[in-house]
Structures are given as structure tokens and as C-alpha cells.
């Protein structure tokens, strides 16, 4: 069954009003950028999740803290390596600080906890960058398309008044042109909604893995660093 006996989609698009064309152009730009984000995040978040899970398992399986940190890989490639490098750097600074051992012992746990939390937050900010745009597309695109549709229908009714005819043949082309804007809006919003929620689930797994690693790191640091777990005197 042919729903467009006289016009194809391109003809309808070319015959739309300027306002509707601008709406569809804007939606097309939104779609292009959202798909770019989807493809980038699909690989970056997937790779980060894999590295975090693998790094956490390697850290737990390692015999001691030093071997566990080496098993995380290079900090330019592994989120956990970057997080742990911040903690190790802060620990070295505390170790060299002109503070007695008892004071260091009291400070080390809270200091490492804060640094690990900051490192995890930094990694999550990097992974979630640009994701709010997908949420914007999911929420706004249908309404932007609806605006184009309403504007097109208004133009169609104006044409009816000018032609002084309410025949279906008079109004159908204009209404069809207008409805395309809503369809494009939905085509932008649906994949943005699906992938935004998909990425949120994967990001939750990544964050959980990094939090688990931070807890394991703190436990090992307390057990294996002599002055961190035993009161002592200078």
C-alpha cells in the first residue's frame, strides 16, 4: 500500500515551510552529535569497565601491595592505575612529612581515603563527559519535533483559509510535511534514551569496581605498611 501516491519523503521535506526545515535541520544536527557520542562512549566506557574489572581481580590475586599495584598496568591506560598513583604519591608525601610516627598513623587512612575518592571522581567525570547531551536529546527532541509539527499544521490551516477550501487534497500535503518533524524528533530521542540508560548501567559497574578497589587498597595499606597500623615512637 502506497501512503504517498504523489510525493516521496524528499519531496515532502523540500516542500516544508522554512520554520519546519530549520527544526528538521536542528534535529538532524542533534542526531549526528548524539550518535557520535554513542559510538565514542560505547568503546571508552566498555574499555574502562573491562580494565577496572581485570585490574581489580589482579590486585586481589597479588601477593602484596607492591605486586598488586604493578598488576594494574600503566597509568596512561588503566583507570585503577591512575587512581592508585594519586594515593601512592600522597602517601609518599605524608611519609616524608615532618610529623611524628603516631601522627602519621592517625592521618594515613583518612588521607588515602580522600585521595582515592578524588581519583575515582576524576575518572567518573571523564567517563560521563558529554552524556548529559544524550539526556537532553531524549527529553527535548520530541518537543522540538512537535513544535515543527504545530507550526506546519498552522501553516496548513492558513493555506486552507487562503484557498477557501477544506478538501483533503488541499490540507494533506502540508500536514504530512509537518508530521515528519515529529517523526524525526522521535528518531533522535529513542536511541538517545536507550543508550543513555545503557551507559548509566555500565558506569555504575565501573564506579562500583573502583570503589571496591579503593577499599581493598586501604585494607592492604593498613596491613602492610608498618607505621600505618602500629603505634610507634620516634
Classify residue 102 by its DSSP letter.
H
pTM of the predicted model as reported, rounded to 2 decimal places: 0.79
The CA distance from 56 to 81, in Å, is: 10
Q: What is the distance between the alpha carbons of residues 118 and 190, in angstroms, rounded to a whole number? A: 34
Given a contact cutoff of 8 angstroms between Cβ atoms, the answer to whether 20 and 178 are in contact is yes
Contact predicate 186/140, CB 8 Å: no
CA distances from 87 to 80, 110, 168 (A): 11, 11, 72
Residues 182-210 have pLDDT tens digits of: 888 999 999 999 999 999 999 999 999 99
Residues 6+ apart with CB under 8 A from 69: 59, 81, 84, 88
Contact 198, 100 (CB under 8 A): no
Characterize 103-124 residue by residue with b for buried, 16 or more Cβ atoms within 10 angstroms of its Cβ, and e for exposed: ebbeebeebbeebbeebbeebb
- pLDDT of the residue at 163: 59
Per-residue pLDDT of the chain (234 residues; tens, 9 = 90+): 454 444 466 666 666 677 778 888 899 999 999 999 999 999 999 999 999 999 889 888 887 888 888 888 777 778 998 998 888 888 888 777 666 666 666 677 788 889 999 999 999 999 999 999 999 999 999 999 888 888 777 766 766 666 565 555 556 666 777 788 888 899 999 999 999 999 999 999 999 999 999 998 888 887 776 545 555 444
Burial class (CB in 10 A: 0-12, 13-18, 19+), 202: middle
CA distance 34 to 28: 10
The secondary structure of 43-76 as a DSSP string is HHHHHHHHHHHHHHHHHHHSSSHHHHHHTT--TT
Distance CA 152, CA 19 (A): 8
How far apart are alpha carbons 101 and 234 in whole angstroms?
6
CA–CA separation, 155 and 151 (whole Å): 6
Q: Which residue has the cell 548509566?
A: 200
Amino acid at each position: 500500500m502506497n501512503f504517498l501516491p504523489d510525493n516521496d519523503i524528499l519531496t515532502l521535506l523540500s516542500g516544508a515551510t522554512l520554520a519546519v526545515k530549520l527544526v528538521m535541520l536542528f534535529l538532524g544536527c542533534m542526531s549526528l552529535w548524539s550518535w557520535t557520542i554513542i559510538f565514542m562512549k560505547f568503546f571508552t566506557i566498555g574499555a574502562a569497565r573491562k580494565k577496572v574489572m581485570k585490574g581489580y581481580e589482579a590486585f586481589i590475586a597479588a601477593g602484596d601491595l607492591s605486586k598488586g599495584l604493578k598488576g594494574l598496568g600503566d597509568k596512561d591506560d588503566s583507570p585503577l592505575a591512575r587512581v592508585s598513583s594519586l594515593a601512592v604519591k600522597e602517601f609518599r608525601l605524608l611519609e616524608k612529612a615532618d610529623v611524628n610516627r603516631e601522627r602519621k598513623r592517625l592521618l594515613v587512612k583518612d588521607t588515602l581515603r580522600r585521595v582515592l575518592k578524588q581519583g575515582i571522581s576524576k575518572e567518573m567525570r571523564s567517563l560521563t563527559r558529554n552524556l548529559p547531551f544524550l539526556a537532553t536529546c531524549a527529553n527535548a527532541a520530541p518537543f522540538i519535533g512537535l513544535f515543527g509539527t504545530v507550526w506546519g499544521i498552522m501553516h496548513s490551516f492558513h493555506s486552507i483559509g487562503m484557498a477557501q477550501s477544506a478538501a483533503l487534497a488541499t490540507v494533506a500535503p502540508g500536514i504530512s510535511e509537518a508530521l515528519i518533524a515529529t517523526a524525526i524528533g522521535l528518531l533522535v530521542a529513542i536511541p538517545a534514551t536507550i543508550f543513555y540508560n545503557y551507559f548509566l548501567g555500565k558506569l555504575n559497574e565501573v564506579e562500583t569496581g573502583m570503589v571496591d578497589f579503593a577499599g581493598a587498597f586501604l585494607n592492604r595499606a593498613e596491613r602492610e605498611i608498618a607505621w600505618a597500623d602500629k603505634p610507634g615512637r620516634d
